[in-house]
Structure 1
Amino acid sequence: MHIKPFEELTIQDNFMFQKVMRNKRICKATIERLLDIQIKDITYLEEEKSLHMNPDSKGIRLDVYVNDVDGTVFNVEMQTTKNMEELVKRVRYYQSIIDLHNIEKGQDYTELNDTYVIFICTFPLFSDNLHKYTFKNICLENYNIELNDGTTKLFLSTKGTEDDISKPLQCLLDYVDGKTSSDDLVTEMDSVVDKVKHSKEWRLEYMTLEMELRRQRKEGNAEGKAEVVLGMLEDKLSLEMIAKYTKLTIEQIKEIGKAHSLI
């Protein structure tokens, strides 16, 4: 399994997107721009970032999960793999888990918060050329009648070609697509991206997360762990630090390093 080098991470990558969105000002401004609304303030739902219907069910790990002062919940996800059938069903699943989690906290149905599930996609959507697709539940027999259940699903495409969005939103989507801009929000986001790339702590965290992903996918395949060790050795990390994060002994690390002429 290919692991993208830390230096090559962009805002499209979940790890980087999450770090940038940890800047509260950027996160708030991004949501406002995506939805063309104004928000007084946001709160990170830290303890609720990983949600499960029950201990045995498939959980979800959310990129951005916040609410505003009115209790409205915003979930924002970065999507780079095109599988429309899986994508639309995943939006449905995310919505249901967020709602059920609120119910689990003792809320009555009538107290369910309004929710926005937002997917920023780096590919064309729905065989169309729009940048923005907003979905609400409406009556098929009379399009003027909305269900008003408080749920909104929003898909955004960086590959849209129509003139259907504001210039600020266009600048944001262009940045996700790899284009530069002098837009204030984009400039601030890019500054945080640069800061993340120069952080030793976040580099280690990225390597650790990728190693765990490799462990889960390959069930502890020794070759996968060795690749992570080699990357850490190439980055001149100490043997003690590598041992801490890989759970290998220093002797095992030395053996891997010597086999590849890194020690």
Structure 2
Amino acid sequence: MKYRIKPWEELTITDDYMFKLVMRHPKICKRLIEKILHIKIKHIDYLDDEKSLKFRYAGKGIRLDVYVEGDDTIYDIEMQVRDYGDEELAYRSRYYQSMIDVDALATGADYKELKKSYVIFLCPFALFDGQRHLYSFRNICLQDRNLELNDGTNKIFLCSEGQLDDVSPDVKAFLDYMKGLPSGDTFVSEIDQFIKEIKVKEEERVSYMTYEMKIREAHDDGRAEGRAEGQIEAISKTIPMLKKLKLSKDSAIQELMDTYSLSHEKAQSLVNSIW
């Protein structure tokens, strides 16, 4: 399937690229966090717009959509367009949280110096029981739910498809805006106007096209790599079967060469590693 580049003119707040552009505006980013958490922030500092946390050990890197620090608190705001399911998103939030902490410790901080942090997922779909717009999670004692662990970690899921009247009118207006619904809310109108202004900037359009071309190249490379990985997985299952059939190593090597169009050296290496 050919990777489709979404036209620049069609981008909305839920598109990854546009979301980051909007959240790059300090005033908008600050006000969104304030509205979601009902707090006041003195200032925000952008640690990295698109911060990739990758380490020397063999691990899975993540990309943080908006990674900001305000009043000694770290906020990671993620626009989650794809509905991976409740369990997958729960584990994603756990992984994002852990990588934020590991990143801080990697810079030399002591674990007692870890800052309070929020991982905020904006989801244009229903989650969990499908009733709420807002789900907030902290670590509590199961035996005494009034007792909190107070480890400074917070995970928030905001869903556009909730049924209850459980968020403020301005947050609800933003969630409706994520769904493409019109709104007379002042904050939403400010965001919408900002997006319109961005879209007429030629340098932003060119930057987006360059970005999307790189994504397409990575997508195509990933598909090719996936095909190669799929072949290796199939071969790893085939070799034990050939062994059970009492074939000799030489016969097994020839079978792999014929079936998977492998060189003799490659087939021999695979057989020797598994036989």
Q: TM-score range by the shorter chain?
A: 0.7 to 0.9
Structure 2 residue aligned with 1:218: 220
Give the CA deviation at 1:37: 1.0
SS in 1 for 2:198: helix
1: CA distance, partners of 2:211 / 2:197 = 19
Structure 2 residue aligned with 1:176: 178
Q: Cα RMSD (Å) of the superposition? A: 1.7
Which string of whole-angstrom CA distances, capped at 9 and with x for unpartnered residues, describes residues 126-176 of structure 1? 032100000001111111111100000000001111011111111111111
2: CA distance, partners of 1:48 / 1:179 = 28
Q: Aligned letter for 1:128? A: G
Segments ≥4 residues shifted beyond 2 Å: 53-58
Checking the alignment, whether the CA contact within 8 Å between 1:53 and 1:100 is kept in structure 2 is no
2: CA distance, partners of 1:220 / 1:108 = 38
Larger CA Rg, structure 1 vs 2: 2
2: CA distance, partners of 1:34 / 1:54 = 35
Q: Which runs of 5+ in 2 are unaligned?
A: 224-275
Structure 1 residue aligned with 2:19: 17
Q: Aligned letter for 2:73? A: T
Matched, 1:88 2:90: yes
Give the CA deviation at 1:48: 7.7
Checking the alignment, whether the CA contact within 8 Å between 1:115 and 1:150 is kept in structure 2 is yes
List aligned pairs for 1:24-35, cutoff 5 A. Answer: 24-35=26-37
Structure 1 residue aligned with 2:42: 40
Which string of whole-angstrom CA distances, capped at 9 and with x for unpartnered residues, describes residues 31-70 of structure 1? 101111111111110288221233653222211110113x
SS in 1 for 2:209: helix
TM-score (norm 1): 0.80
TM-score (norm 2): 0.76
2: CA distance, partners of 1:94 / 1:54 = 17
Give the CA deviation at 1:220: 9.2
2: CA distance, partners of 1:133 / 1:187 = 25
Structure 1 residue aligned with 2:77: 76
2: CA distance, partners of 1:89 / 1:19 = 27
Checking the alignment, whether the CA contact within 8 Å between 1:53 and 1:97 is kept in structure 2 is no
Matched, 1:105 2:102: no
2: CA distance, partners of 1:40 / 1:163 = 29
* 1:162 corresponds to which of 164, 169, 186: 164
Give the CA deviation at 1:86: 2.1
Q: Aligned letter for 2:172? A: Q
2: CA distance, partners of 1:197 / 1:97 = 33
Which string of whole-angstrom CA distances, capped at 9 and with x for unpartnered residues, describes residues 223-263 of structure 1? xxxxxxxxxxxxxxxxxxxxxxxxxxxxxxxxxxxxxxxxx
Instruction: Check 1:220–1:82 CA distance in 2 against 1; reply closer, same or farther (3 A cut).
Output: closer
Structure 1 residue aligned with 2:69: 67
1: CA distance, partners of 2:19 / 2:57 = 28
Checking the alignment, whether the CA contact within 8 Å between 2:47 and 2:68 is kept in structure 1 is yes
Q: Aligned letter for 1:127? A: D
* Paired residues, number: 220
Q: Aligned letter for 1:135? A: F
Give the CA deviation at 1:2: 2.2
Q: Which runs of 5+ in 1 are unaligned?
A: 222-263
Structure 1 residue aligned with 2:138: 136
Instruction: Check 1:47–1:207 CA distance in 2 against 1; reply closer, same or farther (3 A cut).
Output: closer
